[in-house]
Structures are given as structure tokens and as C-alpha cells.
Amino acid sequence: MNVTIEDVSACRKRLRIEVPPNEVNAEIEKMTDEFRKFVRVAGFRPGKAPRDVVAKRFRTDIDDEVRRSLVPKAYRDAVRARKLRVVSAPMVEELKFERGLSMSFSAIVELAPEIRLPLYKGIAVTNTPKPVTDEDVQKALDYLREQEATFKDAGDRALGDGDFAVVKFTSVCEGRPLQEVAPTAKSLAERENLWIQIQEGSFLPGFTRQLIGMKAGDRKDVQVDFPPDFQVPELGGKKATFFVEVTGIKDRVLPEEDEAFAKRAGRATMEEVRRDVRARFEAERKGDADLANRNQIVEFLLSRCQFDVPESILEYQTRNVIRRVVEENAARGMAPEELQGKKDEIYRFAQKNAHDRVRADFILMKVAEEEKIEVTEAELNERIAGLARRFQMTPKKLMQELDKHDGISQLEQEMLIGKALDFLAKEAKLEQA
């Protein structure tokens, strides 16, 4: 078999493959024998028709099957013989097949880039977990207590920072009822019995600060300037007036830090609760530091490894990033028209993000190859079992689903990349920031 390779682009190649006549003829003979076993020919029992009759009557069908059989086999043999690291499905072109002659075709494929690794052991990283203080633990406990808080009427006093006000209001925007300006913003147009804490960032910009000093029964016109990027596009950059009445002021009562509180938290004493809180904090901060260090490792490798990436993989990853960005922004309430207006910005971000991700994956795969890092069958089965539990299905069923889309090899590659990054993190050198 003759194989030549031509450059189409940095990673895309055209393989020109020629199968010699003797191999083509052997496949024709083999396929003719296979046809003779099952085709029906009038006057003969199945499998008993003369070979020359079958060869003549079913010549076209036999030739089609020979092509279907020889092309993938020749392609696989060519890839194996040239030791090519193909990362895309082949696009077959220029197929020429005629009995008595060689069969030839071209296959356009994308290859993994050639990567020259820098010295990757002992990469300098600078992040250490931030110590957990008693103040951190107390803030966490206060947050837990706030989840169990009860409220009581504050009596005849003015609202102050941190208080809870119960209000009702109607609103207008630029001289019209707010709901006419923004039909989807019904919750901003009129409310009854709305609880608001008097603090920055609560409810609308600047709203709660204007309630300070009011008492139950007081009324006030509250002015709000909506920022240009407000989540309700129709209100962005506009002004509105809210006709507010404070119908009540509430004092928040937190539970005591006592044995009863500890038991509700699943522990016997408050000391055990504090110990648990501190341990969770320490684990979170260690995880944050580890993640930051891994990001530094990836940035180091990206800055020192320059190579082109396969276009098909880049396009695939870019689409994934775009889908994720669109889904996240839609979940935050961004209108479809606004997303459409930012499509060029989203695409540029997605392409840069995908480009870095693809390059990092290839670099880490190269590290795994150099260090002979592998994913064992037991590790793969354990990961599949964990995913099956998450998706509430059996491991066997999940494997069947993964098989449909080459998911198992993708999962294995993902695990291999993770193990390579684990190796680099373990080998990294921690320095002072």
C-alpha cells in the first residue's frame, strides 16, 4: 500500500492512499464468496449457486461492498503504518475503483499538534491557604443563626442600618405607571407586605438608604435611578418614583449559641460545631489555593508552548463555551435581544477561552505521555459508577449511552488530563508571593 501525506493547514493533512491491485482482487474474491453464501439465485438452493453466476449477477453489489470494506481498512492501516495521531474523523474524497487496477482515495484528517514541552517539573506557584481566624468562624456561626432567626415588632422607633422594614408601594417611571414601561417587571410596579433589610445592595439601587429614619405608618416618595445595564432592559438608564409606606419594622432575634443550637446542627456541643465550621473553612481555602496554583501551572505551560490547534476541535469547544455563556446569562435574566446584541463579544470570549482550553489539554496529554501516566480500568469504572449515581442510572446503562457518542474514550481522556495536572501540582515549587 502506498501512502503520501500533503499539508492542508498546520494540523490538517491529506492522506493519499493507494491499495495495490492484488489486494483489491483478493477482497473481490473474498466478497464474492460471502455473497454466494446468502444470495438467492433462481434454480439453486441458497449457497449452491455457481460462483461465476453470482460474480456476474451481483457484480455491482459486490463492488460496493468491496469499497465499503477496503476504504476504512486501508485508512486504518495507513494511520498505523505512519504512526499518525489523528484527532478527527476522516473526510474521504477522490475515490477511484476499477477492477484489475489499484484502488485510490484521499482522506483529509486533523492530527494532534507536535508539542515541545518546557521543563515542567518544579513550576513555581505562590498560593497558600489563607488561615482561618476565630472571626471567620464566628461570622459563619452568625450566618447559621440567621437561618433560624425569628422576628418581632420593633415598636415605635425609626428605621436604621440592618433593620427589617415591611413596606408597600406603587411606582411610576417617566410619568407613566412602571408596568406600562416594563410589562414583565410586575414585582417592581406594585407590592404589598414586602420585607426589605436596610443595607446596601438590598432591593433596588439606593432604595433602602432613603427609608432610614422612617417609622411605621410613614410615607415617602423614593427616587431610583436604574443603571444602564439593569436586568430589566426597558428600565435601563431610566428614573422612577416609588410611593412607599412603611407598614412595620421588625427586630431580628437570633438563637443563642447553646447546646440546643448545637444539637440542631447535629453536634453535642458548640465546641464541636465550631470545630466543624473551622474544618470546612480550611478545606475550602485549601481547595481555592490548589485551584489557583493549578491555574498558574496551566498559564505557565500556555505561555511557553506555542503551536496551532486542530480547527475542528477548536470549533467544537467554541460552540460548547458559547452554549454555556448563553445558558448562564439567560438564567440570570438577560433578555434574548440583549444576548443577540452581544453575540460578537460572546463569540470572541468563547473562541479565546476554547483556544486556551484546547491547547492546555494537548499540553497535559503530552505530559501524561512523557510521564507514562495512565487511567486504569478500575479508575475508569469507579468514575462511571460515580456519574451513574449522580444521574440516577445503572453503570451499565450509562456505559451504553456513552458508547453511542464515543463518550468512554472522551471520559478517559478527561481523567488522563486531570491526572497529569495532579502530577504537575504535586511536583510544583511553592514560593512566597
3 state SS of 351? helix
Average pLDDT over residues 78-100: 90
Domain that holds residue 92: 2-110
pLDDT tens for 375-397 read 999 999 999 999 999 989 898 88
Q: How far is CA 233 from its chain centroid?
A: 28
Is 271 contained in some domain?
Answer: no
In this predicted structure, what is the pLDDT of residue 163?
A: 92
Is 19 contained in some domain?
Answer: yes
Note whether 416 and 295 are same-domain residues. yes
Instruction: Answer whether 280's CB lies under 8 Å from 334's CB.
Output: no
Note whether 232 and 302 are same-domain residues. no
Note whether 249 and 283 are same-domain residues. no
Instruction: Answer whether 93's CB lies under 8 Å from 105's CB.
Output: yes
Band of the pLDDT at 124, cuts 50, 70, 90? Answer: very high
> Quick one: angle between helices 407-427 and 395-404, nearest 10?
100
Note whether 303 and 369 are same-domain residues. yes
Is 186 contained in some domain?
Answer: yes
Band of the pLDDT at 56, cuts 50, 70, 90? Answer: confident
In this predicted structure, what is the pLDDT of residue 425?
A: 95
Cell numbers placing 204: 433596588
Is 141 contained in some domain?
Answer: no
pLDDT surpasses 90 at 328: no
Is 261 contained in some domain?
Answer: no
- CB burial of residue 234 (10 Å; 0-12, 13-18, 19+): middle
Cell numbers placing 359: 491547547
Instruction: Answer whether 1's CB lies under 8 Å from 19's CB.
Output: yes
Handedness of CA 298, 117, 78, 412 (dihedral sign): negative
Total of domains in the chain: 3
Note whether 88 and 22 are same-domain residues. yes
Average pLDDT over residues 215-233: 93
State percent of the chain over pLDDT 90.
Answer: 70
> Quick one: angle between helices 395-404 and 377-390, nearest 10?
100
Average pLDDT over residues 327-337: 78
Note whether 291 and 421 are same-domain residues. yes
In this predicted structure, what is the pLDDT of residue 433?
A: 64
Cell numbers placing 61: 453489489
The position carrying cell 510521564 is 371
Q: How far apart are CA 196 and CA 248, in angstroms?
A: 11
The DSSP call for residue 11 is: S
Q: Which amino acid is at 259?
A: E
pLDDT surpasses 80 at 432: no
Note whether 305 and 411 are same-domain residues. yes
Where residue 83 sits, what CATH number does that domain have? 3.30.70.1050
Average pLDDT over residues 329-358: 84
pLDDT tens for 135-179 read 999 999 999 999 999 999 998 899 999 899 999 999 999 999 999
Note whether 330 and 393 are same-domain residues. yes
State percent of the chain over pLDDT 70.
Answer: 100
Evaluate if pTM is beyond 0.95.
no
The DSSP call for residue 86 is: B
Average pLDDT over residues 52-81: 90
Band of the pLDDT at 95, cuts 50, 70, 90? Answer: very high
